[in-house]
Amino acid sequence: MKLGIVGLPNVGKSTLFNAITKAGAQAANYPFCTIEPNTGVVPVPDKRLDVLAEMYSPKKVTPATVEFVDIAGLVKGASKGEGLGNKFLSHIRECDAIVHVVRCFEDENIIHVDGSVDPARDIDVIQLELIFADLDTVQRRVDKAQKLVRNGDKKVAMEAELGARLQKHLEEGKPARTFSVSKDEKEVLDSWFLLTDKPVIYAANIAEDEVGEGAEELPFVKAVRTIADKEGSQVFVVSAQIEEEIANMEQEEKNEFLQELGIGESGLDRLIHASYRILGLISFLTAGADECRAWTIVNGTKAPQAAGKIHTDFERGFIRAEVVAFDDLNALGSMNACREKGLVRSEGKDYVMKDGDIVLFRFNV
């Protein structure tokens, strides 16, 4: 999973990136501090994996990972080459989802590129630039399809009609992710790699002294949530400065600090959970003396395809999956105990994987 962190200059984007990846990206109070995208890979927090490690004492423990990309601050006119323009847009195109950091705090010591704090306006600036870029892409697709449509190809005719409808939608200032399509049309749309078709998680970046109870009711945060609700996007409230502080704490100290703040878990944990939800992802686990590992799959994946995440031979020679639910294994303490209780199931090719399944795949190539 690859998430692109975007936002206007000086909204706390690189500070948040530093905090969640501890990668040390430069964060300074001027536009275009980030030129080449910084990349950080972080483990997905999963307490189930900790339990399995305690149970099996494996040689290694391998969590699922998320790759974060800190992309340069965007300005008006980026779609036409302003600021870092097309370079910025190309970095977004490579990501699975967008984390849009929105400034929701006042601070006279940190300049705002537009002179004042206005989350709705800031969101609109970035969204419009992505829409303009998508309009160029769609126009090229429509032009190409219209040239070929005279050959009588039904798929090309569908692309031309789809593109014309999408153009109108984008011209109304609406992102592609809010455009209604059929299953066949969705496949075509996915092949166009549109920027505004990517899922968005809005990170409402608030001041340190606003963290905790009542943060959701802050006027700037409510403005962000109103926009997110209209387009079916996720929102999480975070203080990039606080995240930067806790990034350097030991786990015990971090837990105490988070409890004092009344937020329970770090911004990184909440961001990853939001990412999984918006991308429709779940995790299954494998466990043994050699390795305990978490694997990320799309919700609805069947057993053979899940096996293929481990190795293509597993999918090609799939025989069956021996599955036990994590809660059952955790309650009984061992796989043998689960077998004695009849809780280890033998599943075939049509089995749809569930979050927290612990699996042993049987295969023959």
Average pLDDT for 234-245: 88
Residues 6+ apart with CB under 8 A from 77: 83, 85, 129
167 vs 10, which has greater pLDDT?
Answer: 167
Average the pLDDT over each of 68-77, 262-271, 324-333 and give the range with the smallest value.
68-77
Q: Parallel, antiparallel, or unpaired: how do β-strands 65-70 and 2-6 relate? A: parallel
Check the CA dihedral 288-294-295-299 and report its sign: positive
Q: Which residues pair with 200 in a beta bridge?
A: 98
Average pLDDT for 14-20: 83
Assign 334 a pLDDT band (cuts: 50, 70, 90): very high
Average pLDDT for 240-254: 85
Tokens of 48: 């189930």
- Given a cut of 50, whether residue 180 has pLDDT beyond it is yes
pLDDT at 249: 84
With 0-12 / 13-18 / 19 or more C-beta atoms within 10 angstroms meaning exposed / middle / buried, residue 334 is exposed
pLDDT > 90 fraction of the chain, expressed in percent and rounded: 50
pLDDT > 70 fraction of the chain, expressed in percent and rounded: 89
Q: At residue 354, what are phi and psi to the nearest 5 degrees?
A: -120, 150
Q: pLDDT digit string (tens) for 116-165?
A: 889 999 999 889 888 988 999 999 999 888 888 777 677 888 899 999 99
SS3 sequence of the chain: CEEEEECCCCCCHHHHHHHHHCCCCCCCCCCCCCCCCEEEEEECCCHHHHHHHHHHCCCEEECCEEEEEECCCCCCCHHHCCCCHHHHHHHHHCCCEEEEEEECCCCCCCCCCCCCCCHHHHHHHHHHHHHHHHHHHHHHHHHHHHHHHHHCCHHHHHHHHHHHHHHHHHHCCCCHHHCCCCHHHHHHHHCCCCHHHCCEEEEEECCHHHCCCCHHHCHHHHHHHHHHHHHCCEEEEECHHHHHHHCCCCHHHHHHHHHHHCCCCCHHHHHHHHHHHHHCEEEEEECCCCEEEEEEEECCCEHHHHHHHHCHHHHHCEEEEEEEEHHHHHHHCCHHHHHHCCCCEEECCCCECCCCEEEEEEECC
Q: Which residues pair with 358 in a beta bridge?
A: 285, 324
CA angle, 205 then 208 then 213, to 5°: 85
Assign 112 a pLDDT band (cuts: 50, 70, 90): low
Q: Which residues of 260-296 are buried (b: 16+ CB within 10 A; e: fewer)?
A: ebebeebbbbbbbebbbebbebbbbbbbeeeebbbbb
Q: Residue 289 and residue 323: Cα distance in Å, rounded?
A: 17
Assign 88 a pLDDT band (cuts: 50, 70, 90): low
- Given a cut of 70, whether residue 254 has pLDDT beyond it is yes
pLDDT at 76: 57
- Given a cut of 50, whether residue 48 has pLDDT beyond it is yes
Residue type at 365? V
- Given a cut of 80, whether residue 74 has pLDDT beyond it is no
pLDDT at 33: 37
144 vs 90, which has greater pLDDT?
Answer: 144
Q: Residue 39 and residue 18: Cα distance in Å, rounded?
A: 10
Q: pLDDT digit string (tens) for 270-289?
A: 888 888 988 999 999 999 99
Q: pLDDT digit string (tens) for 191-232?
A: 999 999 999 999 999 998 888 778 889 999 999 999 999 988
Assign 37 a pLDDT band (cuts: 50, 70, 90): low
Average the pLDDT over each of 67-76, 163-172, 191-200 and give the range with the smallest value.
67-76
Q: Residue 39 and residue 2: Cα distance in Å, rounded?
A: 10
- Given a cut of 60, whether residue 85 has pLDDT beyond it is no
